[in-house]
């Protein structure tokens, strides 16, 4: 619900030329054309050029620990099944029977010995191979080439527990795709040999806004957290005797833009105010002081990476976002230009004390979930923007993404890569520039990272 009935499509459909799409984003001047968020034709191009060619987050290894364990999710608008194999590998295939297209697995998750289509009984093994067809001799006269008629398989790769998949055989390997953003990902997922494990359950909800608002915010927008959006979220966590004016909202930190791929992250440095407001002092201390934190710094190579990035936000282009230290992870599933489906799960350090795991769970539910005291207000911003964009004039304005223009350098002594101030939009410009390249460069020969 909560949207108007779909209007008739305007009969004049814009056919976007490469030149026109390129003009939507300007990295030098820091401008965005509002049509990237609402145009139906652009969205359809996105499904083809972005979602069918990028590494998309499906879940975590600990969602499917045992052979036959599966979860159903999406790559763009394509439903997929993610299944643990007997040899411990993972297979991802289209949740679609090749007979007449019926969805094979209609539930959220489970453990299967086979996937049998409920329409005509075509049976598939847990690797997604068609293995049995009822009345095969009588109906198909033994002509059926079952390999040819199995569901489409995607490429699968994992990074530190995260499961990604990609439809495009030509796309770079995941590790290359992640470019120079690894240290910032590792700060959350590689703090110890034990790594991370999920808290069970994936929360799902629908926000009537374009997916890019969410993906960009987690990539590049500490500004909203340090200013207006989350004031009441902070208030919700204050001890009774404290006022908002007593809360020490941080102001100092950095933003990183990946040299390739559109990934970005930002974080405060040393100031714990926002971490305290979200996960509380116990979890903040666990990640910043004491033996576990020190061991993480040792493993990651510096305490700047292990203990001193506080309140970090990150997006791996296009739709994998997470908040290290808070440990919420989400995939933003596009559902048309005007809608996104959020699928959220939380990870905890596997070797953390039970008390810390419980606290992470509780604080995440409290702050970053559909009813979270922080997240409620993010949704408010995005839905209003989307409604305003329906206007003829409003829908094609240029938007300002000029924060930190020209300010990032490679000279930060403590943090690798292209780094600028935490209140910047350099990462957003990187996100949209890569988006524009995916939309306009058909061949990986030009697109691939050097």
Partner 1 sequence: MSFNADTLTRPPVDIKTQQEIEQFYYREAWLLDNIEYEKWLALLDDDLHYFMPLRRNRVKITRNIANMPPEFSNDQEFAHFDDDITNMRGRIRKLQSDYSWSENPASRTRHAISNVMILKNEEPNLYEVSSAFIVYRNRLERQVDIFAGERRDLIRRSDHAYGFKIVKRTILLDQSTILSNNLSIFF
Choice between 95 and 254, CB closer to partner 1: 95
Of 19-27, 132-140, 318-326, 337-345, the window that binds partner 1 (rule: CB under 8 A) is 337-345
Candidates 23-31, 48-56, 86-94, 105-113 — which segment interacts with partner 1 by CB under 8 A?
A: 105-113
Nearest Cα neighbor of 283 from 243, 227, 331, 323 is 323
Phi and psi dihedrals of 95, rounded to 5?
-80, 65
Point out the catalytic residue in the list 63, 378, 426, 434.
378
Considering only residues 193 to 232 of the shown chain, the ones binding partner 1 according to CB under 8 A are 199-209, 228-229, 231-232
> Does 381 participate in binding partner 1 (rule CB under 8 A)?
yes
Among 23, 111, 398, 407, binds partner 1 (CB under 8 A): 111
Q: Is 120 a catalytic residue?
A: yes
Binding pattern to partner 1, positions 4-23, x when CB under 8 A?
Answer: x-------------------
| Catalytic choice (221, 263, 333, 338) | 221
| Interface pick for partner 1 out of 77, 108, 132, 173 (rule CB under 8 A) | 108
Are 306 and 300 within 8 A, CB to CB?
A: yes
CB contact set of 377 (below 8 Å; sequence gap of 6+): 229, 230, 232, 233
Name which of 257, 223, 183, 225 is nearest 407 in CA terms.
257
313 tagged catalytic: no
Q: Least distance to partner 1 from the beta carbon of 110, Å?
A: 6
- 211 vs 415 by CB, closer to partner 1: 211
Whether 221 sits among the annotated catalytic residues: the reply is: yes
Closer Cβ to partner 1, 151 or 262, answer by number: 151
- Closest approach of partner 1 to the CB of residue 42, in Å: 22
84: nearest Cα among 117, 116, 128, 121: 128
Residue 426 appears among annotated catalytic residues: no
Does 47 interact with partner 1 (rule: CB under 8 A)?
no
Q: Does 331 bind partner 1 (CB under 8 A)?
A: no
Q: Please tell me whether residue 240 binds partner 1 under the rule CB under 8 A.
A: yes
User: Does residue 378 have an active-site annotation?
Assistant: yes
Would you tell me the crossing angle of helices 354-367 and 273-288 to the nearest 10 degrees?
160
How far apart CA 35 and CA 49 sit, in angstroms, is 17
Select 66 or 409, whichever has its Cβ closest to partner 1.
Answer: 66
Considering only CA atoms, which of 318, 221, 218, 214 is closest in space to residue 261? Answer: 318
Q: Which of 213, 345, 432, 435 binds partner 1 (CB under 8 A)?
A: 345
Q: Which stretch binds partner 1 (CB under 8 A): 84-92, 122-130, 159-167, 371-379?
A: 371-379
Closer to partner 1 at the Cβ: 179 or 363?
363
* Position 235 contacts partner 1 (CB under 8 A): yes
Hey, is 185 helix, strand or coil?
helix
Backbone angles phi, psi at 364, to 5 degrees: -65, -45
Helix axes 211-220, 426-440, angle to 10 degrees: 140
Of 237 and 306, the one with the shorter C-beta distance to partner 1 is 237
- Closest contact distance (angstroms) between CB of 350 and partner 1 is 15
Tokens of 300: 């990651």
Q: Are 55 and 177 in contact (CB under 8 A)?
A: yes
User: Is residue 1 involved in binding partner 1 (CB under 8 A)?
Assistant: yes
- Note whether 255 and 424 are within 8 A (CB): yes
User: What are the structure tokens assigned to 107, written together?
Assistant: 């539930």
Does 107 sit near partner 1 (CB under 8 A)? yes
CB 209 within 8 A of CB 386: yes
Residues comprising the chain, all counted? 450
CA distances from 86 to 30, 214, 289 (A): 50, 36, 40
Q: What is the DSSP letter of 135?
A: T
- 106 part of the interface to partner 1, by CB under 8 A: yes
Q: From the candidates 224, 285, 303, 351, give the one annotated as an active-site residue.
A: 224
Residue 204: both structure tokens together: 């799902």
Q: Report DSSP state, residue 10.
A: P
Alpha-carbon distances, residue 136 vs 100, 120, 133, 288 (angstroms): 16, 11, 5, 62
Here the tokens at position 198 are 């999920």
Q: Which of 31, 315, 364, 440 binds partner 1 (CB under 8 A)?
A: 364
The residues binding partner 1 (CB under 8 A) are 1-4, 105-111, 199-209, 228-229, 231-233, 235-238, 240, 244, 341, 344-346, 361-362, 364-366, 369-371, 373, 375-377, 379-384, 387
Q: Which residues are catalytic?
A: 120, 221, 224, 230, 378
């Amino acid at each position: 619900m909560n949207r108007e009935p779909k209007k008739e499509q305007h009969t004049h459909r814009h056919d976007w030329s490469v030149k026109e799409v390129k003009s939507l984003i300007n990295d030098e001047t820091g401008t965005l054309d509002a049509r990237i968020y609402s145009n139906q034709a652009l969205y359809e191009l996105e499904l083809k050029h972005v979602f069918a060619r990028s590494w998309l987050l499906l879940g975590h290894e600990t969602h499917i620990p045992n052979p036959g364990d599966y979860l159903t999710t999406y790559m763009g608008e394509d439903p997929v099944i993610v299944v643990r194999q007997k040899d411990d590998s993972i297979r991802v295939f289209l949740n679609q029977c090749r007979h007449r297209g019926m969805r094979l697995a209609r539930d959220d998750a489970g453990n299967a010995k086979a996937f049998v289509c409920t329409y005509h009984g075509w049976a598939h093994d847990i690797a997604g191979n068609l293995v049995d067809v009822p009345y095969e001799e009588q109906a198909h006269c033994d002509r059926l080439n079952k390999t040819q008629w199995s569901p489409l398989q995607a490429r699968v790769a994992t990074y530190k527990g995260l499961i990604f998949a990609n439809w495009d055989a030509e796309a770079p390997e995941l590790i290359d795709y992640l470019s120079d953003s690894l240290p910032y990902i590792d700060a959350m997922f590689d703090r110890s040999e034990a790594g991370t494990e999920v808290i069970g359950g994936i929360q799902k909800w629908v926000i009537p806004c374009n997916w890019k608002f969410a993906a960009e915010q987690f990539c590049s927008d500490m500004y909203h957290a340090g200013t207006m959006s989350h004031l009441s979220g902070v208030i919700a966590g204050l001890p009774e005797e404290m006022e908002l004016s007593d809360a020490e909202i941080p102001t100092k930190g950095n933003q990183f833009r990946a040299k390739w791929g559109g990934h970005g992250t930002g974080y405060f440095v040393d100031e714990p105010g926002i971490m305290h407001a979200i996960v509380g002092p116990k979890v903040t201390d666990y990640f910043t002081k004491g033996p576990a934190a020190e061991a993480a710094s040792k493993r990651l190579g510096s305490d700047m990476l292990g203990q001193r990035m506080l309140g970090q936000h990150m997006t791996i282009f296009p739709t994998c976002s997470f908040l290290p230290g808070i440990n919420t992870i989400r995939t933003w599933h596009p559902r048309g230009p005007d809608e996104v489906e959020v699928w959220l799960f939380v990870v905890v350090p596997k070797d953390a004390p039970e008390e810390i795991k419980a606290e992470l769970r509780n604080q995440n539910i409290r702050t970053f979930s559909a009813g979270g005291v922080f997240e409620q207000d993010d949704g408010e911003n995005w839905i209003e923007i989307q409604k305003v964009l329906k206007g003829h004039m409003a829908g094609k304005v240029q938007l300002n993404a000029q924060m930190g223009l020209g300010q990032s350098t490679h000279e930060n002594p403590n943090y690798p890569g292209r780094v600028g101030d935490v209140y910047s939009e350099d990462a957003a410009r990187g996100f949209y520039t890569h988006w524009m390249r995916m939309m306009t460069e058909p061949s990986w020969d030009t697109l691939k990272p050097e």
